Amino acid sequence: MLDEVEDWLRRRSWSAADRPLGTLLAAKEAAGPAGTVSVVLPALDEESTVGEIVSVIRRELVERAPLVDELVVLDSGSTDRTAAVAEAAGARVVHRDTVLPRVPAVPGKGEVLWRSLLATSGEIVCFVDADLREFSADLVSGTVGPLLTDPGIQLVKAMYDRPLEAGGAVVPAGGGRVTELVARPLLNLHWPQLAGFVQPLGGEYAARRSLLERLHFPTGYGVELGLLVDALDEAGLDALAQVDVGVRHHRHQDGQALGRMAATIYRTALERLVRTGRLKGDEEGLVRPLLTQFSRAADGAPEGGGGGGFVPHTHPVPVLERPPMAGVPEYRARRAA
Note whether 155 and 240 are within 8 A (CB). yes
Helix-then-strand count for the chain, H and E: 12, 16
Compute the distance between CA of residue 50 and CA of residue 72 in angstroms, rounded to an integer. Answer: 11
Compute the distance between CA of residue 262 and CA of residue 185 in angstroms, rounded to an integer. Answer: 12
> Beta 92-95 vs 240-247: how paired, if at all?
unpaired
Note whether 130 and 42 are within 8 A (CB). yes
**DSSP state letters, 57-99:** HHIIIIISSTT-SEEEEEE-S-SSSHHHHHHHHTPEEEEGGGS
The neighbour count for residue 78, using CB atoms within 10 Å, is 22
CA–centroid distance for 298 within its chain:
36
Compute the distance between CA of residue 108 and CA of residue 50 in angstroms, rounded to an integer. Answer: 18
Q: CB-hemisphere CA count at 13 Å for 23?
A: 14
Q: Exposed, middle or buried, 280 (CB in 10 Å: 0-12/13-18/19+)?
A: exposed
Question: pTM of the full predicted structure?
Answer: 0.88
109-119 helix and 329-336 helix, angle to the nearest 10 degrees: 30
Whole-Å CA distances, 194 to 45, 85, 180, 190: 32, 37, 14, 9
Predicted pLDDT at 172: 52
| E strand or H helix at 323 | none
> Beta 169-171 vs 164-166: how paired, if at all?
antiparallel
Note whether 126 and 39 are within 8 A (CB). yes
Per-residue pLDDT of the chain (337 residues; tens, 9 = 90+): 788 998 998 899 999 999 999 999 999 999 999 999 999 999 999 999 999 999 999 999 999 999 999 999 999 999 999 999 999 999 999 999 999 999 999 999 999 999 999 999 999 999 999 999 999 999 999 999 999 999 999 999 998 887 755 555 444 544 567 888 898 988 888 899 999 998 899 999 999 999 999 999 999 999 999 999 999 999 999 999 999 998 877 566 677 888 888 999 999 999 999 888 877 655 444 456 676 766 656 655 444 444 445 576 788 877 789 999 999 999 999 999 8
CA–centroid distance for 237 within its chain:
19
